[in-house]
Amino acid sequence: MKSKVTSEIVSAVRAIYGEEGTIPLHEPRFDSSEKKAVDDCIVSTFVSSVGVYVNKFEKALAEYTGSKYAIATVNGTSALHVALLVAGVLPGDLVLTQAFTFIATCNAIKYCGAEPVFVDICPDTLGMSSSSLRAWLEANTYRENNVLKCKNTHARISAILPMHTFGHSAKIDEIIGIAQEFDLLVVEDAAESLGSYYNDRHVGTRGALSVTSFNGNKIITTGGGGAILTNDEDLAQLAKHLTTTARVGSKYEFVHDMVGFNYRMPNLNASLGLSQLEKLDVFVKAKRSVAQHYQQIFASSSIDFFSEPKGCVSNYWLNAVLLGDKVERDIVLRELNDEMILARPPWQLMTSLPMFKDSQRGELPVSKDYVDRLLNIPSSVPLLKGA
């Protein structure tokens, strides 16, 4: 016999997504416009790194987010990698990030030869805690020849990498204020936050650079894909150069002036993304309605639904609930999946993974609490009736 909490969640989910069948955590939505766009791209034969759709997609993405520049990449992780390189992260550096995040955030730091330093998250946002960030910087750094260094290892600290979790904005203005005090650049991991706004600006437009993702489970998808956003022309040009194998000179010759990467988004993926981007506002509206449904249903129960932070208009990429403890969370998780409702726990804390177990960190009380109690529940854009 399933628990009362499980029954309440099942009822809420089935009311949106139907009484029968498996309910995925998050699946994409397509119609005939995507098929036409992809078909047109195939007919053109320009399906790889050359073609008009990549440029069109980058232009449309920049306009939608209010960024001056967008550089499309093969996935969000490659976008993070290059954004950190462009921000000046070097081998041996330290980058401050959060322990409650997806592995790509930290993998990108390691790709640069740098090391992560983990700070806590804010209980109101699930993103980086500005107070935890400040506490670590004040306790563990010193300045030498105008370079911020770590007291323990004397390594240079080069950047701050907060993540906007599940589509909710971190308190990014506070984070950037601290970064400016310590003369550090901010790269925003906004992989999950396309269509979200914070204080009337699109999330991911405040740092020196930011990244977003178009993986198949994101609010819009290119199949696989990501993008770097920035308002700095020099950073944009360097990011574009690095993601296109650092090729220079004649279009007929293969001359390269740096170690670059074959990270450019294929034209075929961009054709799909361009069609999806046209539906983004519709998707956000639908997902916010789903979140409102959950919020209303759970208001009279013991289930704590995670609502958008103050000042944020969230895309509610993944809806989240907080349960009493890990035991209850794991019981409900198992029961929901037995009911063919594909709920999921959050990622394990990065500090619990073998490659980061010895990394420097601050105190992580909220991260440790939430990783045990949080549960993501189905969050797809509902199918239209008759679709």
Q: What is the CATH number of domain 4-28+279-377?
A: 3.90.1150.10
Neighbours of 379 (CB within 10 A): 25
The answer to whether 165 touches 125, Cβ cutoff 8 Å, is: yes
**Domain layout of the chain by residue ranges:** 4-28+279-377, 32-277
What pLDDT is stored for residue 386 in this prediction?
40
Neighbours of 288 (CB within 10 A): 17
Collapse the DSSP code of 91 into the 3-class scheme (helix H, G, I; strand E, B; otherwise coil) and give the result. coil
pTM of the full predicted structure? Answer: 0.95
Neighbour-count burial for 102-140, b at 16+ CB within 10 Å, e otherwise: bebbbebbebbebbbbbbbbbebbbbbbbebbbebbeeb
What pLDDT is stored for residue 387 in this prediction?
41
Mean pLDDT by 10 residues, the chain (387 residues): 93 95 96 93 88 95 98 98 98 98 98 98 98 98 97 97 98 98 98 97 98 97 97 98 90 89 96 97 98 96 95 98 97 98 98 97 98 98 66
Identity (one letter) of the amino acid at 6? Answer: T
CA distance 332 to 303: 11
Neighbours of 55 (CB within 10 A): 12
Domain 32-277 has CATH 3.40.640.10: yes
Helices 32-44 and 267-277, interaxial angle, to 10°? Answer: 150
DSSP string, 296-359: HHHTTSS-EE-PPPTTEE---SSEEEE-SSHHHHHHHHHHHHHTTB--B--PPPGGGSGGGTTS
